Amino acid sequence: MIGDHVAGLDSLNSFNPQTLSNTAWAFASAEVPHPELLRKIGDHIAGQMSLISFEPQNLSNTAWAYAAAGDLDSFDPKVLSITAWAFATAGVSHDELFKKIGNHVTGPGGLGSFKPQDLSNTIWAFATAGVLHPELFNMIGHHVAELGSLDSFKAQALSNTAWALATAGVSHPELFNKIGNHIAGLGSLDSFKPQELSNTLWACASVCYTDERLFSALAPVIASKLDKCSEQDLANVAWAYSVANTPRQDLFDEGYVSALASNENEFSGKELAQLHQWQLWQQELESRIELQGPFQAKCRNAFTSRGYSESKLQNDVVDELKAAGLVLDEEVLLGSGYLIDALVEFNDGRKVAVEVDGPSHFIDRRPAGRTILKHRQVAKMDHIKVVSVPYWEWDELKNSEMKQRYLREKLSNGQFEVFQSQDLSAHVGPSQEPKNKRRLVFPAVLFLSPMHGHLLHLVEHGLDLEVVGLFP
């Protein structure tokens, strides 16, 4: 009733700053959603010429300050970070407010007085609200990466920072390397809650930072806290290790299967799909660790039932494949459960999967974790070579003749036989000889650019190569 009344007022000019922040705080603390009220308050504050009348300390104490527009210099970092956090937590979108906060923070001296919690709250809020501000993410990433140490960061701040960057699609290898080394080097990880552990692993796997030292350090800690893990924690951890391809028998054993089974009815469709990929990974490893039949079928069904939509890019590639005289099927469901864009069949019986990889399949033009996982599992489980068509390469082709020549070159390439390091983040420094080499056959065209005649991604992800049969 009060919320409706305030939201329905023509103007909030009669409300002083403390009253506005207290009103917002009261609704949020009581967990009473009222997006119209929050938008009204946000619009009012964003329209102020100056925020001098807003006492920063009062806003900071209430922890639900709403600030934008005018001069933000009088607001300390905690106020700004909690302002963004408040809107993101309440699930209320206010792009103009976020934009102005982001622009202020990225201004001269914007991060100078930010504490670790302020940094993580700010970047988490922008990622949660789905507000893109590349300059803000990059600036905070560089700022944290260049710190002498991360000892002042609590577990939640580290986890939220990594999660926010991955969610926003920012790889920032230097930062992930710093966070990974810091966590792996801690004497004790008892202060990390299961959600902080799972979010950190999910973020690292999403951007393909799969340092074996980090994943190995976290495995026994997670195993000791399985009874405290939520269904989301369990699914994210399983998926992250599947991407990293880091076998851990001290984590993924009958105890983990039991924990999954006890939460079977609580998993969302997305989480069930993640568990299907984990089950495929266990089959890759021939570990004999399996979900019960009905549960396994439920996971597969969730994975194969995901929504699928064509894109102009995909249609264009398929049209050019047909124009080149190739025999193909579109949108083919494979035995593994993966759906591929096109399956080309040659006269000699060979079959090649063509994947049209748009922007969402990459992070900073490096394959995202989910892309790496799909290509690896299709090659391993379905025994089908995968050819990737990255969107930026396709965009450079000006006509059908160039596109068809590009596709012919892609499809005529042989395979790379790859020694894959467990650490896909090694591009932050000189390539290191992998400690444990695993010999895998990867699709050459995932990495080969016939247009530019060089190899993509392999050095960046710390992969040692032995090239065989490049041209048939």
The reported pLDDT for the residue numbered 78 is 64
The reported pLDDT for the residue numbered 413 is 67
The reported pLDDT for the residue numbered 36 is 73
The reported pLDDT for the residue numbered 294 is 97
Q: Which of 439, 471, 472 is nearest to 463 (CA)?
A: 439
Rg from Cα positions in the chain: 25
CA–CA dist 44, 96 (Å, integer): 12
Confirm if 240 and 336 have CB atoms less than 8 A apart.
Answer: no
pTM metric for this prediction: 0.76
Q: Which of 326, 333, 331 is nearest to 341 (CA)?
A: 331
CA–CA dist 313, 296 (Å, integer): 34
Question: Which helix (DSSP H) or strand (DSSP E) does residue 455 occupy?
Answer: strand 454-455
The reported pLDDT for the residue numbered 101 is 81
The reported pLDDT for the residue numbered 114 is 86
Q: Work out the angle between the directed axes of helices 35-46 and 17-29 (0-180°, nearest 10).
A: 150
The reported pLDDT for the residue numbered 106 is 86
What percentage of the chain's residues is helix, strand, coil (to nearest 5)?
A: 55, 10, 35
Place of tokens 């490049």: 470
Token representation of residue 453: 């005649």
Alpha carbon dihedral 404, 408, 410, 414, in 10-degree steps, equals 180
DSSP state of 107: S
Residues 6+ positions from 232 with CB-CB distance below 8 Å: 195, 198, 268, 271
Question: Which helix (DSSP H) or strand (DSSP E) does residue 354 occupy?
Answer: strand 351-357
CA–CA dist 242, 154 (Å, integer): 27
The reported pLDDT for the residue numbered 470 is 29
Q: Distance of alpha carbon 450 from its chain centroid, rounded? A: 29
Low-confidence ranges of the chain (pLDDT < 50): 50-52, 54-72, 74, 414-472
Confirm if 102 and 133 have CB atoms less than 8 A apart.
Answer: yes
Confirm if 356 and 403 have CB atoms less than 8 A apart.
Answer: no
